[in-house]
Structure 1
Amino acid sequence: MLLLINVILSLWVSCANGQGTCSKSDIEIENGFISESSSIYILNKETQYKCKPGYATADGNSSGSVTCLPNGWSAQPICINSSEKCGPPPPISNGGTISFLLKVYVPQSRVEYQCQSYYELQGSNYVTCSNGEWSEPPRCIYPCIITEENMNKNNIQLKGKSDRKYYAKTGHTIEFMCKLGYNANTSILSFQAVCREGIVEYPRCE
């Protein structure tokens, strides 16, 4: 019983000193308001706020909540112009975002992309939400796939490599040489072929 009285007294003293409480005046919501009439909130008390018409919370709702914590409110509420928010970022072929997608993004949010293995990312890794639209997403450029079948057709092999299948990113140089017993039938320069967005011109030996 004595312990319970001490706990109650401690809580009363804390509240009297302003500890363990949050003030409504500490929340400033541009384009929104606290929907409850209380001015002081005790620890762990949750309160609701609403956005004005035409505005929404960061997750796209018309209202949200904040909680009174020992160090103050759990978050500073935000209400943004509905026309300025963005939906999920655009998908890209042979790649995707590296983070879990949200339904709604606030202005100036950034999302990062990456490509599948061997694909070359062209453009910025990031897109940014601005005025309700995403900036232009990157492209994932096809690699060149050097196959044993195509090399056999041209009587060539990879220079310095024994791979039967070889992947090269766009812009990379692939060096070839004639197979034993064959001579070059195309220019010397053709044996240093450059991968261009999934296409490579093979040299030929006869």
Structure 2
Amino acid sequence: SPKMSVIRDVSNFFAVVLEAKEKIPCDQPPPIEKGTAITEDKMYYTGDTIRYSCDHGYRINGSNEITCKMGKWTSPPKCIETRETCPSPPAIKNGASFGPLLTNYTTGSSVKYRCHRYHILEGPETVHCVQGKWTAQPTCLEPCTLNVDDVSNNNIEMKWRLEGELFFLHGETIDFVCKQGYYLSSSSRQSQLTVQCTHGKIIYPTCIMKGKTIAVFAILL
């Protein structure tokens, strides 16, 4: 009937209008500071949603989701600093941290390290608390102690007479000479009588009596 035909036409009209509204596109999601929109390579229309994530050290303030409504996105969230605290600074071998010593530290705090006597600090003296984690700690390089028994057994002696306990810092060189009546083997160089303290270890040169052949080096472990 004519009346039913009009009703169908009106219904179809509103269906077309509703479908057109649902297909209104939105621009790409707005960027946010210290965060990123998790998007796909496509157009977004009314009803579509996307999510945001924050950079390390920041968290979402509010909902992490926005929606496309009639060609516009709802308001995006903000990323705020988490302000995580750090525990007491880690202990290091042959060294210690100093002042101020607290149970926890806020981001931006710092402490310093120093090594025990005769140890050399390698790496940063100062470490910083950054979002719940400390930056890399230094290490303390061990010194060497001259072992008089090893010196005697290898038929060598110090080139320079030194008094007291003989400590050598990491990286320092030590000059030896052969004892009287002993010599370096013919395959050895004179420079091998100068050795270096390396991580608490000394490789001692060996001198021999003429006519004898033995290992040229002994290692102090």
TM-score by length of 1: 0.57
Q: Which amino acid aligns with 2:140?
A: C
Q: Pairwise CA RMSD of aligned residues?
A: 2.0
Q: Which amino acid aligns with 2:147?
A: T
- Please list the CA deviations of residues 30-49 of structure 1 after superposition, one character each: whole Å capped at 9, or x if unmatched: xxxxxxxxxxxxxxxxxxxx
* SS, match of residue 149 in structure 2: helix
8 Å Cα contact 2:119-2:143 kept in structure 1: yes
* SS, match of residue 202 in structure 1: strand
Tell me what 1:25 maps to.
Answer: none
Tell me what 1:102 maps to.
Answer: 102
- Please list the CA deviations of residues 102-141 of structure 1 after superposition, one character each: whole Å capped at 9, or x if unmatched: 1111211111111111111110111100111100110011
**Shift, 1:83, TM fit:** 4.9
Tell me what 1:180 maps to.
Answer: 180
Measure the CA separation in 1 of the matches of 2:86 and 2:197.
Answer: 37
**Shift, 1:99, TM fit:** 2.4
Tell me what 2:193 maps to.
Answer: 191
Change in CA separation of 1:201 and 1:120 when aligned onto 2, cut-off 3 Å: same
* SS, match of residue 190 in structure 1: helix
Q: Point out where structure 2 has 5 or more consecutive residues left out of the alignment.
A: 1-80, 209-221
Q: Which amino acid aligns with 2:161?
A: K
Identity %: 33
Larger radius of gyration: 2
8 Å Cα contact 1:128-1:134 kept in structure 2: yes
Measure the CA separation in 1 of the matches of 2:153 and 2:164.
Answer: 13
Change in CA separation of 1:116 and 1:124 when aligned onto 2, cut-off 3 Å: same
Measure the CA separation in 1 of the matches of 2:135 and 2:98.
Answer: 17
Larger deviation, residues 119-128 vs 157-166: 157-166
Tell me what 2:206 maps to.
Answer: 204
8 Å Cα contact 2:100-2:111 kept in structure 1: no
* SS, match of residue 129 in structure 1: strand
**Shift, 1:203, TM fit:** 0.9
Q: Point out where structure 1 has 5 or more consecutive residues left out of the alignment.
A: 1-80
* SS, match of residue 150 in structure 2: helix
8 Å Cα contact 1:147-1:164 kept in structure 2: no
8 Å Cα contact 1:148-1:164 kept in structure 2: no
Tell me what 1:159 maps to.
Answer: 159
Map residues 52-201 of structure 1 onto 2, 5 A cutoff. 83-163=83-163, 165-185=165-185, 186-201=188-203
- Please list the CA deviations of residues 130-166 of structure 1 after superposition, one character each: whole Å capped at 9, or x if unmatched: 1111001100111111111110011111111244742
8 Å Cα contact 1:171-1:196 kept in structure 2: yes
Aligned pairs, how many?
A: 127
Measure the CA separation in 2 of the matches of 1:149 and 1:139.
Answer: 30
* SS, match of residue 177 in structure 2: strand
TM-score by length of 2: 0.53
